[in-house]
Amino acid sequence: MDTQSERGRKQGRNGLSGRSAWENRKNNWQQILRQSRFFCGMSDEKWEEMKKEGKLAVCLLFLLSMFFAGRTVGYVQQAVEAASRYGAVVMEEENWGLGFGEKGTQPSGNTSADELAKYDAYYIGSADEKKIYLTFDCGYENGNTEAILDALKKHDVKATFFVVGHFLESAPELVKRMTEEGHTVGNHTYHHPDMASISSREKFQEEMDGVAKAYKELTGLEIAPYYRPPQGKYSRENLQMAKELGYHTFFWSLAYVDWNVDSQPSHEEALQKLTDRIHPGAVVLLHNTSKTNGEILDELLGKWEKMGYSFGVLADLCGE
């Protein structure tokens, strides 16, 4: 007969066995999570802090729910944001993105400035200095670059122009003017592909060398060792390749939808966005194809100056 004491002993043994099994399962999934690409780069101290605060279970449930829901794009984007909040390193194939806070404050990137710096990559300057780093992406010429250069010359502002092969071929005189007026010309790849999809070092280098060679043939000068990934698409491997080729990679901390030539923002909309979101250390991305940019740049530079901002060059960010 099963006595009360015997039932108690059985329950005790079963309870201990159950707890042991649970501990084993918990340790297993924590180990799997720790070794995943989302948390493998996290420091041991941060990992232990997350365990103590009970955040690991939340992360696991989130990742599993995204997997079973089949929301591939949303999964990647939200996993990046969640892991960034918890200090994880997430640098698979991604699109560069920003999160904005209070007006006039620096935004956060989906990869931290400290992590990017390991690859000689940057997206923002110091928060302690009201300085702007102005950059333009030049995919092709449609009549606005001259006005942009005129405004920069009037305000004595030096910018960086990231050019592709087509721009070098179709607008050589504008490239020469950029150089002659003291601006920097950087590498935006020859064909403007999705560089994050290129795993071959040879193919990656071909895109970079094509622009560098064309620029030297045109100007007799070496192109600046600054690279901007087309569409902001990048991976850890890409950043490492660029670094090994001697390039600094530059993302941005302020941009707006100026690239759609068929739906240009109004002057008022553009000025509001570019003044409301400006912040110390801003690396500003504008497109030379924007008619609005060509028309407002003189006024915009004046507004920024009245707000107490001055202008730096990308060499300042990488200590050159």
What positions carry a catalytic annotation?
Answer: 137, 287
Q: How far is CA 92 from the centre of its chain?
A: 12
8 A C-beta contact, residue 229 and residue 247: no
The radius of gyration of the chain's CA atoms, rounded to the nearest angstrom, is 25
How far is the C-alpha of 75 from the C-alpha of 94, rounded, in Å?
Answer: 12
At 5, which helix (H) or strand (E)? helix 4-35
Rounded Cα gap, residues 258 and 270, in angstroms:
8
Residue with tokens 């721009």: 167
Q: Report d(CA 39, CA 87) in Å as an integer.
A: 9
Phi-psi region of 35 (alpha: psi -120 to 50; beta: other; left: phi over 0): alpha
Rounded to whole angstroms, the Cα distance separating 252 from 274 reads 13
Enumerate the β-bridge partners of residue 319.
none
The Cα–Cα gap between 136 and 308 comes to 22
